[in-house]
Each structure stands twice: as C-alpha cells, then as structure tokens.
Structure 1
Amino acid sequence: MPSIDVVVHLTYEECLGYYHGGFANVRTRSLDGRRVVFPADALRRVVRRDGVHGVFRLTFSPGGRFQRIQRLTRA
C-alpha cells in the first residue's frame, strides 16, 4: 500500500474544529515537501490533550483512498 510521511502541528482547539465537522480535510506537507490532503476524521485516532503534534505515516489504498494514520515521532 502506498504511504506518505507528514508533519502535523495542531493545537487542541484547532482539532476541535475538525472534530465537530467544521472541516472535512486536513492540509499539510510531507517530509519531502509535497502537499497532502487527508480526511479530518483521521485525527480522532491520534489527538491528545495538547492537540496533534509530530510526524505521521498516512497509508492509502492502491486507488488513493485514505486507510490509516500512524504516529512515527512526537514533536
């Protein structure tokens, strides 16, 4: 399955906007500089009290659909 590593830094308050459906997608950058968009509901799996901070691996199906988010490092 294709994957890409991204950096995400969102405060807890910013995550609430995603959590409550205010935003459908998260826009960020990969480690190699590409722009990446993935479903905001993926953040529910990795949000902590201080928000979402670190490097994450996003895994996609061969057809390009988001499947999984995995924390690689905490920043």
Structure 2
Amino acid sequence: MPSVDIWLSLSRKQCLDYYQGQVQQVYAQALDGRRVAFPASALSRVVGKDGVEGYYRLSFSSAGRFESLMKIAAPQR
C-alpha cells in the first residue's frame, strides 16, 4: 500500500468547513514536495477541539484511491 507523509495544520473553523461539506477535498503538500488530495471526511477521525495539527501518513490503494489517514507525530512545542 503506497503512502505519503504530510504536515497538517488546520484550525477548528477550517475543519468545520470540511465537516459541513463546504469543502470536499483536502489538499496538502507532502514532506517530499508532492501535492496530494484526500477526502475531507477523513478529518473526522483525527480532529480535536483545536483542529488538526501534526504529521500524518496518508495511505492509498495501488490504484491511487485514499484508504486511511493516521497521525504519526505531534507538533514539537
């Protein structure tokens, strides 16, 4: 299963826009520079009270379809 690592930093308001269906896709830049997109519905599994922030791994099928979003590291503070 191919995967790509990304940094996400989304406010609670931005996540709400995704959750309410105002935005269907999330676009992010991978750590290696590639641009990737995944369904906004995937954020519902990782959003916290302040939004989403940290490093995440996107996994895709061999056909390039989104399969999962998993947190791999929290931001360093």
Which category of TM-score, normalised to the shorter sequence, fits these structures?
over 0.9
Aligned to 1:39: 39
Aligned to 1:69: 69
Q: How many equivalent residue pairs?
A: 75
The answer for unaligned runs of 5 or more in structure 1 is: none
The amino acid that maps onto 2:50 is D
The answer for unaligned runs of 5 or more in structure 2 is: none
Query: Can you list the C-alpha shifts for 1:5-58, whole angstroms capped at 9, x where unaligned?
Result: 011100011100000000000011001111111110000010000100011000
**Structure-2-length-normalised TM-score:** 0.95
SS at match of 2:23: coil
Structure 1 segments (4+ residues) deviating >2 Å:
none
CA-based RMSD:
0.5
SS at match of 2:59: strand
Percent identity, aligned pairs only?
A: 48
**Structure-1-length-normalised TM-score:** 0.97
Aligned to 2:55: 55
